[in-house]
Each structure stands twice: as C-alpha cells, then as structure tokens.
Amino acid sequence: MQISYSPVGSVDIWRPNRGLEQLVSAGIKSTILDFSVICQVYDPKEMMRIEKSGRRPKGWIFREQPEQVTESIRMFVTKCKELHVDITLAIMPYFKSEQEAQNLQELYPLLRECMKACHVYGIEKVVIQPLQADWETNLIFYQKLLGWAKEDDLHILLKNCLKYLNGRYVRGTCSDAEEANTWIEALNELAEEERFGFCMDMGVCSICGQNMYEFATVLGEKIKAVIINENNGQEPGAMLPFSQISRSRCRTDWLNFFRGLRAAAFQGTAILDVRESLAAGPLLLKEGMLQHTKRVGEYLKLQLELEQVLAKYDKRVLFGAGNMCRNYMKCYGEKYPPLFTCDNNAAIWGTRFEGLEVKDPEELKKLPEDCAIFICNIYYDEIKKQLQNMGLQNPIHYFNDEFMPSLYLDRFDSEIREVY
C-alpha cells in the first residue's frame, strides 16, 4: 500500500517548482495528478456565466485546444522526476455540477487528451467519475473510454459520488456499494479483463452517513484507491484527518473506515487530499502543516496495514505487558500468536499475562533475526531506541490499539495488575 499526497492546495500546477520542493522538504515522495483542477469541464450554464463575466480561468484554453494538455503538465511531471517524486494515479476532469449525457461532447475530447498524457508520462491508473445518470447511459460512456484505456494501457477507477438535491447533498451514482460492485463486474466482463476498479471517497461516505466497514467489504479487492480526508458531515470538504471535532470526538467514523479497508485487504493507493486545510492555512505555517500532513499519512498507513504486517511474519514477540498487549491478545492472539512478551518492569518477569510468559528484554537478543518485535506500549520511540541500542537487527513495528476489530471496555491496571 502506498500513501500519496494530493498537490492541490500546496502546489501551483502552472509553476510547480517551489510547491514540490516544499513537499519533498516535508518528506513527501508520492503524489497524484489532478486534471480536474488543471482543465475543468463546464456545463452550458457555467459556460454562459463565465463568458458573461469576461474572466476566464487558466484552463479555459483546453476547451478549444485539448491537445495542449500533455504539454501543459510537462513542467510538473519533469520536476517530480527531478525530485524523485512518484505520480501514482490521475484524477480525470468531470463536471462540477450534475453531469448530463447531452453535455458529453464537452467532456470526451478532454478525457481523451488527459488519458494520452497519462500514457506519455507512465501513469497507469485514472479515476473517472460516473455520470449522474442510469446504468445504460454510463455503459455507453465507459464503453467509449474502454477503447482508449486499452490503447493507452490504463486502468479506470469508478468513484462514489454525491448528488445535490433541494439544497442538500444525497447519495449519487455508485454511492451504493452493491451497485458499484455490479457495475465494475459488468464492465470487466465487457472488457474481458480486470480493466476497471473502484476509488472509494471516504468523504462521500461520511456525508451519506454510510457504514464504511460494510461499504469496503462489499467491494473488497475491487478497491484500488481511496481518497482520505474529513468534512463536516454535511457538505464536501477536503480537510486534514482528525481535525473535524465535535464534543471531543471526530465527526468521521474512523473505526469502521480502518476496519473496512483491513477486512478488504486493501493494497492500493491511499490519497491524502487535504487541499482546504492547506489552502486556508497561513503561508508562514505551510511548512509545518505539510510536515504534520506527512506524519498523519504515516499514521494512516500504520493503521491500514496493521493486519498485513502481522501476517507478514511467521514468528513475533511483543514488548509490553499492559492494556495494549491485552488488546492484542484478545483481537489477534489466536490468529497471530506471539512467542512471548517482555517488559521493563522487573517485578513481573517470569509471570504470565494473557497466556504469555513475561520476560526480561535481554531475552530478545536470543531471537532469530527474522522474528519481528511489536511494541505494545505508548512509549514507542523510547522503546524502539532501547531495542536499537541493544544491537537488535530484528524488524521493529508499532502496534496501536486505538482502532481494533473488537472493543473491550474494561481496563487493566498495570500497577495492581488487575482488571477493573
């Protein structure tokens, strides 16, 4: 699994050098290409409004000269290569308002040129939103795109959408997981290969009040990408995860988000799109905000890959003999049993905890180098440094029990060694 960071909000696509250098300075080495920002597609009402105002956006030229798309992003792609920043996928243009079939002549030329650009620059996955229309109309739409996708060797990802109705956002096309699953299977059957997949937008799920565990498990391995951000639960927004708070709690259902993607064995591209948080922040804080965004991405990766990392090793031990160790054993002890646990508290060495023998950390030196050590203690950095100072060459991972498949409300008191 790879975490990619959307450049929107921090990088000017027309003058990308400084923005990309700031991303790299923050430790970010993976991004995406968002054509929906570069060359927007307008329906007739929007076009009339823009022409009447006389103020045309930068991407207006692509309406008359769509073939200029490839050249327009050359500077961005070249700078990414220079800085060794991977471009993992592209988001294709789409109508900001409802996409109607009669307006597709505005969309097709841009989509074709954007897909050509992806082929030229080695981007293999593209997100193309479905139309706000029925299956028959969308089938015609994707049939036309299929030939181009095969020609350019691209994989098309559908996405769950919102619909604006009577002053509020409601579920749009492919916002029902069963519907999306059926569509993708039908399109892959048409393509006679696995040419179509799904991009799950968690912001859409939040606004629609959907259970993301159920959503992700229905689609399973068809989910090739996921867009991660937060909103206020009422309208679209691309804000930093864990920043939308109400009564000391996140508005987003992070528990079912993590559980769902773990259950789906997600191994695709996770896109951290926090454009609104970055755009709204003061310029003097931009560097710090990007660094924090990078750390949030690392945390998301830790949570999403938790079960995959556990399954990676045949042998593992734990470090810690408290609540986190207890939660590990209750949730994963049977499927991924540890050899033993260890703790810095000498008073409990030789005792048993949750069926595990508690040992002196010095015993870790006797482990084979392919045995992983999972730190089950909030003092992660200190314990990792302790293990490194001991000269251990074993893989060291952090285990975090904030988002577990099962919840246990009783707690273990580490001082009196009793559950309360």
For 198, the token pair is 């799904």
Write the DSSP assignment of 96-115 as a string of letters. SS---GGGHHHHHHHHHHHH
Expressed in percent and rounded to 5, the helix, strand and coil fractions of the chain are 45, 20, 35
Provide the percentage of residues in the chain whose pLDDT is more than 90: 78
Mean pLDDT of 250-271: 96
Give the Cα separation of 200 and 174 in Å (integer).
Answer: 10
Q: Is residue 169 part of a domain?
A: yes
Give the Cα separation of 399 and 117 in Å (integer).
Answer: 41
Mean pLDDT of 91-113: 76
Q: Are residues 283 and 373 in the same domain?
A: no
Q: Is residue 121 part of a domain?
A: yes
Q: Are residues 228 and 92 in the same domain?
A: yes
Q: Are residues 257 and 348 in the same domain?
A: no
For 119, the token pair is 């082929």
Among 304, 332, 349, residue at a domain's last position: 304
Q: Are residues 51 and 131 in the same domain?
A: yes
Q: How many domains does the chain have?
A: 2
Residues in Cβ contact with 312 at an 8 Å cutoff, skipping those fewer than 6 apart: 372
Q: Are residues 360 and 225 in the same domain?
A: no
Q: How confident is the model at residue 246 (pLDDT cuts 50, 70, 90)?
A: confident
Give the Cα separation of 222 and 159 in Å (integer).
Answer: 11
Question: Chain-wide mean pLDDT for the chain?
Answer: 91
Q: Are residues 248 and 337 in the same domain?
A: no
Q: How confident is the model at residue 291 (pLDDT cuts 50, 70, 90)?
A: very high
Q: Tell me the per-residue pLDDT of 141-199, one tens digit each, with 9 for 90 and over.
A: 999 999 999 999 999 999 999 998 888 999 999 999 999 999 999 999 999 999 999 99
Among 252, 282, 304, residue at a domain's last position: 304
Write the DSSP assignment of 320-389 as a string of letters. --SHHHHHHHHHHTTTS--S-EE-S-GGGTT-EETTEEEE-GGGGGGS-TT-EEEE-SS-HHHHHHHHHH
Does residue 301 or residue 13 have the better pLDDT?
A: 301
Q: Of 236, 308, 237, 238, which Cα lies nearest the Cα of 268? A: 308
Mean pLDDT of 332-357: 96
Is the pLDDT reported for residue 408 higher than 70?
A: no
Q: Are residues 299 and 320 in the same domain?
A: no
Task: Give the domain range for residue 138.
Answer: 2-304
Q: Is residue 309 part of a domain?
A: no
Q: Are residues 300 and 337 in the same domain?
A: no
Q: Are residues 334 and 380 in the same domain?
A: yes
Is the pLDDT reported for residue 105 higher than 90?
A: no
Question: Is-contact 6 273, C-beta < 8 A?
Answer: yes
Predicted confidence at residue 40, as pLDDT, reads 67
Q: Is residue 369 part of a domain?
A: yes
Predicted confidence at residue 416, as pLDDT, reads 64
Q: Tell me the per-residue pLDDT of 29-40, one tens digit each, with 9 for 90 and over.
A: 999 999 988 876
